[in-house]
Amino acid sequence: MPRPAITPRLLGRGLAATGLHALATVALLQAGSHPWLAASLGFAAGLAANYGLQRGYILRHHEPPGRALSRYIADISVLWALHGFAFGLMAGVSGVPFVAAQVASSTLAAGLGLLCFGARGSRRTSLVL
């Protein structure tokens, strides 16, 4: 199955999921969560929103929704771990400011998602935050 075109609709939904990611992260920080925990849980909220908003477009195949969701979770777990590791390394070890570390780690994970999972045919999970 060919890779889907990146359309304004696809980008808009991806940006909406990214917005939820940012809002969840800020809310958790305001509630007193550790920055690494807030960044990781915010990223997970964005991933969940991305699945809900984009599954009909990105995951076009003939699998039941439960199987598609389990594949999505398996694929994005790699991105979630990469995001958490990169954020922790930048913000915790290297002393990069929180916002810069958050933007850089999210961009790294999203870019990897587009490069790796976006070209995998029916197992696409592209535009992950």
CA–CA distance, 45 with 25 (Å, rounded to integer): 9
pTM: 0.71
pLDDT tens series, the chain, 129 aa: 455 566 787 778 888 988 899 999 999 989 999 988 998 899 999 988 988 887 776 666 666 767 777 777 877 888 888 988 999 899 889 999 988 998 999 889 888 877 766 554 444 444 343
Angle CA 4–9–12, to nearest 5: 115
Residue 123, pLDDT score: 46
Question: What are 72's two structure tokens?
Answer: 């999505």
Structure tokens at 98: 């929180």
